[in-house]
Amino acid sequence: MTQSTLTQERYFKLSGGGNDFIALAEPAADPQPHDVRALCRRGVSLGADGLFVLRQEQEGVRMHYWNADGLPAELCLNGTRCAALLSDHLEWSDGRVVIFTDAGPIMASSAGTDTITLDVPPPSSRLEEITVELEAESWRGWRVDIGVPHFVIPWRKSLAQAPVATLGAALCHADEFQPRGTNVMFVRYPSPNVLEIRSFERGVEAETQACGTGILAATAVGLSVRMLTLPAEAITLGGFPFLVTGKTEDGRLFSWSLTGDARLLATGEIERAATVEPETPVWSA
């Protein structure tokens, strides 16, 4: 069994809009994939959707993020808001800070108690409308890259009945999105300034309470098909509202910001037992 180097490291548990994270501030070494998988496993360890490491830099803070499966991801906006909150908590910043992510720098600022605003660059690539075939059914949606890939599906019926766990998992790993896989967003636009969204996230391999990059992907689609205008409120499974603001012209996006919940839940010290990754059982035939 692989030994972890994180025993006795201080950790922080944070939540951003219902996504929960483990954070390490200036650890002696970055976690290995087995460390991330072990710490994020619910029931036998701290449990989280992902883990990030935060380090001070001269002009801001550097953030590296891993999903619960132990694989790195270039960007997690709910995690980035939590990183900004933690930076303030550690007195590395004072209400405004640049977070250097693997997808590029993002300006974060406090927007009130437990609320952080992120200024995010517009998508670098065009939206691509595609149809995915699964077991004789066709699913039309838009491929959107917001630092990480998304497949946005407009959902005509109530999201209460959307098969996020099953269809989301199948679409996440469909041939069209290999080898990386994709986040899958089920979205409705009930009015011009509101979107409702449920999210299946790759790396977590489950529905999550919210997905910040997914909200922006769904916003980009809504603007493109002229079913949404800014400012727009996003309603998520976690019950935390998000606000997207920005500047557009003829459906073209010039700048946008995402405001939402971020909170520090607990701090502690990692014990050895939390770093042990249980063996996957092999069931008898």
229 CB neighbour count, 10 Å cutoff: 13
Tell me the backbone φ, ψ of residue 191, rounded to 5 degrees: -155, 165
Q: Return the half-sphere exposure (C-beta side, CA atoms, 13 A cut-off) of residue 28.
A: 7
70 and 135 share one domain: no
Residue with tokens 């800014």: 230
- Residue of 105, 125, 129 whose CA lies nearest to 57: 105
205 in a structural domain: yes
Tell whether 120 is covered by a domain.
Answer: no
pTM confidence score: 0.91
Do 198 and 76 fall within a single domain?
no
The length of the chain is 285
In a domain, 191, yes or no: yes
Strand runs labelled E in 35-193: 50-57, 60-67, 72-73, 96-101, 104-110, 115-120, 128-134, 137-145, 149-154, 183-191
Measured CA to CA, the distance from residue 263 to residue 209 in angstroms comes to: 15
Residue 234 maps to a domain: yes
Q: Which amino acid is at 243?
A: L
* CB distance 202 to 213 below 8 Å: no
Give the model confidence (pLDDT) of 212-244 as tens digits. Answer: 999 999 999 999 999 999 999 999 999 999 999
Are 224 and 172 within one domain? yes
Same domain for 251 and 268: no
Give yes or no for residue 159 having a pLDDT over 90: yes
% of the chain beyond a pLDDT of 90:
83
Write the CATH number for 78.
Answer: 3.10.310.10
Q: Are residues 157 and 246 in the same domain?
A: yes
- Domain assignment present for residue 202? The answer is yes
3 state SS of 205: coil
Give the lowest-confidence range in 75-84, 184-193, 221-230: 221-230
Q: What is the pLDDT of residue 267?
A: 97
Q: How confident is the model at residue 169 (pLDDT cuts 50, 70, 90)?
A: very high
Judge whether residue 249 has pLDDT over 80: no
Angle at 211 between CA 262 and CA 96, to 5 degrees: 35
How far, in Å, are 55, 93, 236 from residue 87 at the CA level?
9, 6, 26
228 domain residue, yes or no: yes
- H/E run at residue 84: helix 77-89
Q: Are residues 62 and 109 in the same domain?
A: yes
Please, what is the end-to-end C-alpha distance for the chain in angstroms? 26
Percent of the chain at pLDDT above 70?
A: 98
The reply to whether 248 and 160 lie within a common domain is yes
Q: Which residue in 16, 14, 18 sits closest to 53, CA to CA? A: 14
4 inside domain = no
pLDDT of residue 2: 61
Q: Which residues are catalytic?
A: 76, 211
Residue 60 has pLDDT above 60, yes or no: yes
Expressed as residue numbers, the domain containing 149 is: 128-261
Question: In total, how many domains does the chain have?
Answer: 2
Please, what's the b/e burial string for 187-218 (b: 16 or more CB within 10 A of its CB; e: otherwise)?
A: bbbeeeeebbbbbbbbbbbebbbbbbbbbbbb
Residue 14 and residue 102 in one domain: yes
